[in-house]
Structure 1
Amino acid sequence: MIRVLVAEDQSAVRAGLVLILRSAPDIDVVAEAEDGERAVRLAGELRPDVVLMDVQLPRLDGVSATRRIVAEGFADVLVLTTFDLDEYVFGALRAGAAGFLLKDAEARDLLEAVRTVARGEGIVAPAVTRRLIAEFAAAPVRGARSGPAVLEGLTRREREVLGCIGEGLSNARIGARLDMAEGTVKTHVSRLLAKLGLRSRVQAAVLAVELGLHRDDS
């Protein structure tokens, strides 16, 4: 069972999200928060698997709340945003969010995003993936060294996996491409994140783009 905390200040929107999440047999909404301070407190008390976080919250904004939740290891954070890509989104990803989803996403996409984040894989709304990567990559990833030298500590296999992450591939698809078991891919991802000093898979994707490790099939 995937345990989720929903942080959204608009009661009607929050109720809708909870309704969708509770429609899935494998997802349990353990708590709701109407502001960032409460989201952080509840995340610390309940240790959910995923926090569904609105970026614009009262008392403590979603970016700051995400940074505190991730830093303390309370949960993985999936950020909800509007279509406009602004500093809220980039700030949340730099703070270690596992990814983001548009507020107008279909119910099935919301459920799948929560499941994906719970599996330890980042998720970015497909409609804006390329734009997000391009804009976010324009600024250095905090905590990471820049330039090819950053790869010196990685094995050949870890570099290949990093390139696949830059393409937005899931662990299953990476395994199929590189002829590895999905569990082995997950191990490589964890190790390369630790070696690079990155907090999330999405940050790794941005770094891969910065270094030209990804394939661009556009």
Structure 2
Amino acid sequence: MAVTFDLFGTLVDVEYPSDPAEAVARELESRDVAVPDDWHVAYGERHVEAPAGAEVPLPAHVARALDSRGVDVTQNVARHAVVAAFDPDVTRRDGAVEAVRGAGERGPVGLLSNCAVPELVPRTLIRAGLRGEFDAVTTSVGCGWRKPHPSAFEAAAEALGSSTPALTHVGDDPETDGGIVAVGGRFVDVTETPLSEVVAELEAEQ
């Protein structure tokens, strides 16, 4: 049995910026970027055409948003500003380590996270004490697809040497994490099955 876990809202709680556009603006200004007066409007617009379900890395979105207002920045500056803006306080949820290790005793275990911010997932894993607990880490910014798109689950399953019908995904959002069901896998909802009961639930499915 291959198992993947969602990260944010499932294994950890994270304090996100209450105003992401403003947080990014502050980091851009600290790097001598002239942020346009209507930045909040530009930030909220769509600037990168992508297929449905595809992930648009936030630095690319920020660079295009600035460009739409005549402000030219390098991808490197945009990336550093975004990474700094989303530098969160992380709290590991009770039972997270035990659930991941218990799943790992029954087969390959991975992480599958929707995240448009580069470096955020590995940084979160370090701060939560979860680094090195997974056989594979798959992120939407890395594979190019967001859950519930089938390609996201396929990428995670392939990284574990498995297939989506043989994959159980543990998460907190039926709309996104529950997309595993559409490709033949199983979904364990931690809002109904606490992390402390996940291993028992996995055993019951075998």
Work out whether the TM-score is over 0.5.
Answer: no
TM-score for both structures, normalised by structure 2: 0.32
Higher helix share: 1
The answer to which structure, 1 or 2, has the higher relative contact order (CA under 8 A, 6+ apart) is 2
- Larger C-alpha radius of gyration, 1 or 2? 2
TM-score by length of 1: 0.31
